[in-house]
Structure 1
Amino acid sequence: MSLVGKKAPLFTAPAVINGEEIVEDFSLEQYIGKNEVIFFFYPKDFTFVCPTEILAFQEKLAEFEKRGVAVVGASTDTEETHLAWLCTPKNQGGIEGVTYPIVADTSKVIASNYGVLAGDWDYDEEGRLSFTGLPIAYRGSFLIDKEGTVRHETINDLPLGRNIDEMIRLVDALQYVEKHGEVCPANWEEGKEAMQATKEGVASYLASH
């Protein structure tokens, strides 16, 4: 079930911040009323597609921050594994230099609450609890507004990497809508014309394009 239009599930969990410090009580609550948040899940530390995404978010971090947006990553690995990966140089498959928080969802509760866990718990015929599927997160991405409401989500299968520029475009669209009260048509980008959410507004936009 989609979380769009609903409050983002809050949590308190360990995380690595600033690429070097483990905190035990990281929470998204610190951003409510202050910042929009890009909260994204990735499958596993020390893998192949994941570092390309994590480093791509870092490369664009200044673009998010100048828009007042916080970036937070998460996987089902431990905080110690996160820290080890963060301390590993890029040329050795690491993500050294990443400064935004990376959450450790070892219980898999956060991934489950966000609907991105690539498997589920079930009981077998003998009544024993088991897990079917993969106990890791899909590549879920969530744009959360300042009120803590999810405004956009995408969930990619494990081999499919994300487009970080598209996340920036969505932030621009959300902030434009909230500032101007207009709506953003297909392929809208910052600097392009938006339109009024009325029949007349749509007709005028279509006539001019």
Structure 2
Amino acid sequence: MTFVGKKFPNLSVNAMNDLGDTFKINILEEAQKNNKKVVLFWYPKDFTFVCPTELRAFQAALGEFEKRNTIVIGASCDTAEVHFAWLNTSKENGGIEGVTYPILADSNRNLASTLGILDIVSEQYDEETGAVILEGDNVTYRATYLIDEQGMVFHEGINHMPLGRNINEYLRLIDAYAHVQENGEVCPANWEEGKEAMTANRKGVAEYLTSLAN
């Protein structure tokens, strides 16, 4: 089930930050009460391989997201304690020391299950009871959600485990959605900030396509 065009689930989840504070975060409320966009990115597991490159890439771009009135929040199904241990591990040892945005600790998998992003790879059946037993790593895919100031999801994307994300694409999507919000135009393929957008009618698309040929 996709959440694009819908409100993000109204669920509170434990979170951890680099100061060692454990607290609750409700993504929907974060967007609405702060009147900010939110980028929520899920990764499979702490102390792994592609994951720290992504967390560090989001940290490096944190200023760009802040310029766009956007909060960055990471998430996995590890516990808050494991997050804190990873936050205190240097990059020389594969850690994410220096990451300052909060990380959800969805250890009971309530939010991940609601979003449908858990890696459940097969079903087995109990011969005595007939119950379905789900088997898999029980971690999340690399799912990313962009949420607007009203808590509505305007982008949802899921990568398989080996595929790291391109952070610049999320900045581009935030720019594009902000342009739609502010100007009422739609953004064509490969649109970037400063490029021509178009009106959503036949005349608009005809004018835009004609301009590409000139």
What letter matches 1:8 in structure 2?
F
Instruction: Please report how far the alpha carbon of residue 122 of structure 1 lies from its aligned counterpart in structure 2 after TM superposition.
Output: 7.0
Q: 1:175 to 1:137 in 2, by over 3 A?
A: same
1:147 aligns with 2:146: no
CA contact (8 A) 1:74 1:105 kept: yes
1:111 corresponding residue in structure 2: 112
Q: Which residue of 2 aligns with 1:164?
A: 167
Q: Distance in 2 between matches of 1:105 and 1:14?
A: 7
Residue 134 (1) aligns with residue 137 (2): yes
1:9 corresponds to which residue?
9
Once the two structures are superposed, residues 20-75 of structure 1 have per-residue CA deviations (whole angstroms, 9 ceiling, x without a partner) of: 23323222213215111001100000000000001000000000011100011100
Deviation, 1:123, is 5.4
Percent identity of equivalent pairs: 53
TM-score normalised by structure 2 residue count: 0.93
Structure 1 runs of 4+ with >4 Å offset: 120-123
How far apart, CA to CA, are the structure 2 residues paired with 1:172 and 1:31?
Answer: 17
Distance in 2 (alpha carbons) for counterparts of 1:161 and 1:35: 25
Is 1:22–2:21 an aligned residue pair? yes
SS at match of 1:21: coil
How many residues were matched structurally? 208
SS at match of 2:205: helix
Q: Measure, in 2, the Cα distance between the counterparts of 1:31 and 1:200.
A: 36
Name the aligned partner's letter for residue 211 of structure 2: S
1:197-208 paired onto structure 2 within 5 Å:
197-208=200-211
CA distance in 2, matches of 1:189, 1:145: 19
Separation in structure 1 between the aligned mates of residue 67 and residue 87 of structure 2, nearest angstrom? 24
Preserved CA contact (<8 Å) 2:41 2:143: yes
User: What is the alpha-carbon distance in structure 2 between the residues aligned to residue 32 and residue 138 of structure 1?
Assistant: 26
Q: CA RMSD in A?
A: 1.5
Taking the aligned partners of 2:112 and 2:26, their CA distance within structure 1 comes to 14
Structure 2 regions of 5+ residues with no counterpart? none
Residue 4 of structure 1: how far off its partner (Å) = 0.6
Q: Does 1:189 align with 2:157?
A: no
- In the alignment, the residues of structure 2 paired with residue 92 and residue 183 of structure 1 have an alpha-carbon distance, to the nearest angstrom, of 45
Secondary structure of the 1:168 match is: helix
- Give runs of aligned pairs for residues 64-103 of structure 1, distance below 5 A: 64-103=65-104
